[in-house]
Amino acid sequence: MPVKKPTNTKKKKLGSYPAFTVVFSITISLFVIGLFAMLVLHANKLSELIKENVELHVYLKKDVSNTKIDSIKNIIGKMPFVMKKNMAAQIVHINKEEAAKKFITDTGEDFSHVLEDNPLRESLVIKINKNYFEKDKLAQAVEKIKIIPEVFEVSYPINLVSEINTNVKLIGLVLIFFAIILLLTTVLLIRNTIKLALYSQRFLIRSMQLVGAKSSFIQRPFLWHATVQGFFSGLIAVFILIGLLQYGYNEIPQLDRLKEIEKILIAFGGIIFAGMLIGLLSSYQAVRKYLRMSLDDLY
């Protein structure tokens, strides 16, 4: 009686293994890394915005003419510690009348009922370049301004500057620590996932060795599949992050001020590249491991 051949036997193809688990694991890992990267980028932008709101107040001597004030603005505007936007120095002149209105609004007290003359001085409000946002550098900047003969006094929140710098450094160290831990954990997770996926093909790898196939020939399909899976995993992670960011911007409009498109796009490209690179290297190490194993160790 003739033996009936099985109809649903599948022939294993070199380099083919269940891709869903691998792609899912890499996607989750890359998504977590990307989420952390977005947190770092937005925190860095928030730090810059806080620094930009710290101002130097330059109070001028009395009876300084408007022409002289414009000259002082030009002199200070050329100094490197002054923040520039579109090549324009961020310096605002506040005259005595504006200062009086602000004083009355802030304090609720109108000194004009008591004093005949306005005792407030003309002043310049200067935005500081973030590269000079340090106690020593700001102190040097203040000394340069004080040299100007028409300057009466220069003030800035020195305690606030020191506190911001301390907090920024502390947060930076914490973020770097968690970034290293997260990166190592992610790499190990992806490596183990790919290693387990390749486990089902260990005997096929050995069979190819026995028929004389070169190591490079055996490795090629595994490396190709792992690279492609890493690419699609990174792409999926990026799309999830885009959706999450858009949701956050819609729900919290203030977050839009922290958005830096160029840096975010670079981070997205890094996530996709990281997925491809980690997949490639992990697959390479796993295949080499099985290529070097003895027959007894395969069981």
Q: What is the pLDDT of residues 116-135, one digit of tens each?
A: 666 677 888 888 887 777 77
Global pTM reads 0.69
- Residue 250 within any structural domain of the chain: yes
176 and 152 part of one domain? no
292 and 188 part of one domain? yes
What is the per-residue pLDDT across 215-239, written as a single tens digit (0 to 9) for each?
677 778 878 888 888 899 999 999 9
- How far is Cα 201 from Cα 294, in angstroms, rounded to an integer? 15
Q: What mean pLDDT is predicted for residues 134-151?
A: 85
Residues in the chain: 299
Query: What's the number of domains the chain is made of?
Result: 2
- How far is Cα 57 from Cα 125, in angstroms, rounded to an integer? 5
176 and 137 part of one domain? no
129 and 195 part of one domain? no
> Cβ distance 249 to 259 under 8 Å?
yes
The domain in which residue 104 lies consists of 55-156
- Residue 227 within any structural domain of the chain: yes
CA angle (53, 55, 56) in 5-degree steps: 170
Question: What pLDDT shows up at residue 9?
Answer: 44
34 and 125 part of one domain? no
